[in-house]
Amino acid sequence: MCQAASSVSVELLTRLVAFDTTSHRSNLPLIHFVRDYLAEYGVRATLVHDVSGEKANLYATIGPDDRPGVMLSGHTDTVPVTGQMWNSDPYRLRVKGERLYGRGAADMKGFLAVVLAAVPSMVQAELCVPIHLAFSHDEEVGCLGVRSLIEAMKQYRVRPAVCVVGEPTSMRLATAHKGKIAGRIQVHGKACHSGMAPEGVNAIQAAAPLLCWFEETAAQKASCGPYDKRFAIPFTTLQIGTIEGGTALNIVPDACRFDFEIRNVPQDDPETLLAMLRVEVDRLDRCLKQYSPDAGATLKYLGDYPGLSMAEESELVEFILALLDDRRRERIGFGTEAGLFQQRLGIPTLVCGPGSMAQGHQPDEYVTREQLVCCEMFLQRLIATLANPEAARRLEWI
C-alpha cells in the first residue's frame, strides 16, 4: 500500500471542509463546486433541490448511461461546532502528522474528497459498468434530503443496481445498522403560584411516569431482547435526548416537553413500541383533562429512517470485500441513508468509508492519511474491475 494519500484527495478535502455545511445552512456553495468540478471532466450532474431552493442533492453518472451500475453515496451536511472546544478553525483543514483535522473530515467529507479525486480515473477508464455519484443534504437531521433524490430516481430510466454509502467505518464493510424513530412529547398543565400548588397542574411531575416508561422499557429491551449479537449494543435502545419545562421555582409549571428516540435492531418492530407509548400518552392525556380542560399530553412524530439489513453472504458483499484490504464484516450502531436506498428504491446497499465515527461529531474531528489511502485503493480496484470487459461480464447480477 502507498504511504500517503494523494495530494488531490487532500486538496479536495481542504476545499470541502472550508464549506460550512452545517445542516441549518445552505449546501449550495459546496454542491455548485462539485457540479463545476465534474463539468471540467465532461460529467453532467443533475441537481434535485429542496422546496426552499436553498439546498440540493447531486446525482451524476460516469460511464454508459444505458445500464445500471455502482452508486457511491454520501451526504454533504455536517453537525454544528457550537459549544465544542476546537484547537484550530474547524473549517480550515489542519494537517498534523497522520491526521487531517476539520469538521466533516471523517463524517463524511473524507469519502467525498477521495471519490472526487478518482473522477479523472473514472472518466479515462472507459467503464463498461457505470459509476453513479449521489451526494445529499440534511442527512444529519434525520436523513431528510435524500428522500427527494430517491423520489426523483424512481422516475429515472436506468437506476443504480447497487450502492455503497461511504459513512466512516474504518473501511470495513458494514452490512446492517439500526433503524430510528424520533418523537416529542408535550405535557400541558395549569400554572399557579407554588404556594397554592394543589390548585394547579404540574406538567413536569405529570410527565414523570412517561420518563419512567422509557427507562423501564429500555431496561426490558436490554434484559430480554430481541438481540442481534452482531451489533456492539445488541438490543433496541430508547433514550430521552432533551427536556424543557418550568419558568421559576415559585410557579407551578404549565408545560413540559421532551424529545426521545428509539433505535431498533432489525428483529424488533419500532412501530409496536411507538404504539405502546401512544397508549401511555393517551392515558395521561385523559387523566390531566379531569383536572383542567386545557391540560393534556400529546405525542408528535419528528422523523425516522429505516434500518439496513443485508445478507452477509450475498454476491454484492463478496464483490465489495474482494476490493478491500480489510475483509471483516461488521454492523454499525449509527444510522445512514442506506436503509432508504434499500427499502424505497430496492437497491442492495452496503456501508463502507474512511475514518471512524468515534471521531465524527467530536471537537477536533479528524481522518487519518492511512484511511484515505485505503479508500483510494478501494476505488482504484473498483474502477479497474468495472473497466475490464471480462470482469464486467461476470457481474451479471449488477
7-18 helix and 110-117 helix, angle to the nearest 10 degrees: 130
Residue 161 three-state SS: coil
158 to 62, 153, 323: CA distances (angstroms): 13, 9, 25
What is the end-to-end Cα distance of the chain in Å, rounded?
A: 28
Residue 313 bears catalytic tag = no
CA angle, 379 as apex, 378 and 382 as ends, to 5°? Answer: 90
Residue 328 three-state SS: coil
Residue 138 bears catalytic tag = no
Q: How far apart are CA 163 and CA 251, in angstroms?
A: 55
Q: What are the φ/ψ torsions at residue 81 (nearest 5 degrees)?
A: -105, 0
Q: What are the φ/ψ torsions at residue 135 (nearest 5 degrees)?
A: -115, 125
Q: How far apart are CA 100 and CA 87, in angstroms?
A: 13
CB 178 within 8 A of CB 204: no
Residue 46 three-state SS: strand
CA angle, 151 as apex, 319 and 174 as ends, to 5°? Answer: 30
Q: How far apart are CA 248 and CA 212, in angstroms?
A: 24
β-strand partners of 187: 256, 297
Q: How far apart are CA 139 and CA 146, in angstroms?
A: 7
Give the residue among 190, 284, 184, 292 at the shortest CA–CA distance from 244: 184
Q: To the nearest 10°, the Cα dihedral for 204, 208, 211, 216?
A: 170
Catalytic residue (one of 77, 228, 254, 261): 77
Catalytic residue (one of 139, 280, 330, 376): 139
Which DSSP symbol is given to 369? H
CB 91 within 8 A of CB 17: yes
β-strand partners of 239: 261
Q: What are the φ/ψ torsions at residue 64 (nearest 5 degrees)?
A: -60, 135
Q: How far apart are CA 114 and CA 140, in angstroms?
A: 21
Catalytic site positions: 77, 139
